[in-house]
Structure 1
Amino acid sequence: MAVNLSMSGVSILSGTILRFYLVSLNRKLDMGEVIEDLDGVGEMGIEGRKREVEERGLPGIAVERGFRFLV
């Protein structure tokens, strides 16, 4: 029973942390900021930046069309 209780606590804590993280990412997307530590457009150009965004889990076209994480 203790294992079930501790795993439930870990799940609740993880879910709460994930929710706050996704809300902060949505806020950054609303303000037009680049997500996380993506390098500037500079050398890579627009296509390179889109590819970098897609590799980190955000589809470039969806971001341009208003993609938001569901919370």
Structure 2
Amino acid sequence: MNITTVMSSTSTPITPRGDMDHDALPSLGAAAETLPAHVTDLTWDLRHTLFMDVAGHHLLFGSAAPDGADGRTTGRP
């Protein structure tokens, strides 16, 4: 799994390349959790993600999702 993060003001896309599975979950979660507090708009760019299992689903929508009560998380196929 290769992860690219590009910060621009308050919006940041995170682009994983590879399978979004249980093994990749810690790296993906860390990429989201280490974003600075001023980032309020996170986009998961999934164009280079060929496979996603339930762990990826939990990262994006479940209990493992980054705490973003004041922010917004979106996905881009």
TM-score range, shorter chain: under 0.3
Kindly indicate which of the two structures has a greater share of residues assigned to helix. 1
Normalising by structure 1, we get a TM-score of: 0.26
Larger-Rg structure: 1
